[in-house]
């Protein structure tokens, strides 16, 4: 197979795949915290204060993403015979490195090891590789021009494609999956 490589800029707050993942990663935990605060505090005025702080945190996070990253995820993908490589484009990777280092340093200085750990974890996910032999599930979404690949428990790659190349990438993924598994589709296809 000839190596296929492309770059794409994906709007974070307009892409359904990213919004679903944000909903799981951010919406569920903050929603649960808001429910606990709401039910545990009764009719206290401090309930609104706590919920307001959660809302303010989400608002400032949105503003930060819009200001620093212009609301876009800049990704680069490489498909070859070995597997799929997904990485952040160099310019955004540099911004990510600065933000992640600041998160680690400020987390350590503030005595917040969870914040420091979050910064380290974020930095470790700037590049992900998934071998074709590890792919256990594929979901093709032509409407959003996205192909989701799942491997092990923590292995997931979303291939964001342009309108022009989606069909080509979809065919190549199907071909590679068939070459490895002998099946035309993995579990979980639309």
Mind spelling out the 3-state secondary structure of 77-139?
EEECCCEEEEEECHHHHHHHHHHHHHHHHHHHHCCCHHHHHHHHHHHHCCEEEEEHHHCCEEE
Q: What percent of the chain has pLDDT over 90?
A: 48
pLDDT tens digit string along 10-32?
Answer: 999 999 999 998 899 888 998 99
pLDDT at 40: 85
Q: Average pLDDT, stretch 88-103?
A: 88
pLDDT at 173: 93
Mean model confidence pLDDT for the chain:
88
Q: Is the pLDDT of residue 149 over 90?
A: yes
Distance of CA 110 to the CA centre of its chain: 27
CA-wise closest residue to 10 among 159, 119, 157 = 159
Cα separation, 40 vs 128, whole angstroms: 41
pLDDT tens digit string along 172-186?
Answer: 999 998 888 776 666
Token code pair at residue 66: 């819009």
Cα separation, 16 vs 142, whole angstroms: 12
Pairwise pLDDT comparison (135 vs 184), residue with the higher score: 135
């Amino acid at each position: 197979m000839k190596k296929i490589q492309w770059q794409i800029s994906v709007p974070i707050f307009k892409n359904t795949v990213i919004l679903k993942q944000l909903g799981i990663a951010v919406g569920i935990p903050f929603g649960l915290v808001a429910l606990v605060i709401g039910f545990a505090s009764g009719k206290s005025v401090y309930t609104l204060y706590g919920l307001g702080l959660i809302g303010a945190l989400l608002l400032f996070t949105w503003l930060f993403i819009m200001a620093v990253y212009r609301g876009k995820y800049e990704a680069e993908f490489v498909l070859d015979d070995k597997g799929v490589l997904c990485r952040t484009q160099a310019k955004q990777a540099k911004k990510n490195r600065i933000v992640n280092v600041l998160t680690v340093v400020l987390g350590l200085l503030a005595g917040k090891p969870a914040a420091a750990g979050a910064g380290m974890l974020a930095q470790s996910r700037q590049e992900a590789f998934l071998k074709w032999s590890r792919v256990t599930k594929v979901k093709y979404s032509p409407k959003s021009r996205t192909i989701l690949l799942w491997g092990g428990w923590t292995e997931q790659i979303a291939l964001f494609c342009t309108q022009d190349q989606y069909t080509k990438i979809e065919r190549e993924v199907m071909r590679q999956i068939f070459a490895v598994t002998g099946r035309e589709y993995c579990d979980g296809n639309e």
